[in-house]
Chain A
Amino acid sequence: SQQGEEDPQALSIQEGENATMNCSYKTSINNLQWYRQNSGRGLVHLILIRSNEREKHSGRLRVTLDTSKKSSSLLITASRAADTASYFCATVRVLTQGGSEKLVFGKGTKLTVNP
Chain B
Amino acid sequence: DAGVIQSPRHEVTEMGQEVTLRCKPISGHDYLFWYRQTMMRGLELLIYFNNNVPIDDSGMPEDRFSAKMPNASFSTLKIQPSEPRDSAVYFCASSFFRNTGELFFGEGSRLTVL
**Residues of A at under 8 Å CB distance from B?**
2, 30-31, 33, 35, 41-45, 48, 88, 92, 95-96, 99-108
Q: Provided the pairs A99-B56, A103-B45, A105-B43 are in contact, do residues A45 and B100 lie with their beta carbons within 8 angstroms?
A: no
User: Is the pair B106, A42 in contact by a Cβ cutoff of 8 Å?
Assistant: yes
How extensive is the interface on chain B, given as a class?
20 to 34
Task: Name the distance in Å between B105's Cβ and chain A's nearest Cβ.
Answer: 4
User: Is the pair A99, B107 in contact by a Cβ cutoff of 8 Å?
Assistant: no
Interface status of B58 (Cβ within 8 A of chain A): yes
Contact of A42 among B91, B100, B102 (CB under 8 A): B91
In chain B between 83 and 107, which residues have their CB closer than 8 angstroms to a CB of chain A? 91, 93, 99-107
Chain B residues whose C-beta falls within 8 Å of the C-beta of A96 in the assembled complex: 58
User: Is the pair B45, A45 in contact by a Cβ cutoff of 8 Å?
Assistant: no
User: Is the pair B100, A95 in contact by a Cβ cutoff of 8 Å?
Assistant: no
User: Is the pair A102, B106 in contact by a Cβ cutoff of 8 Å?
Assistant: no
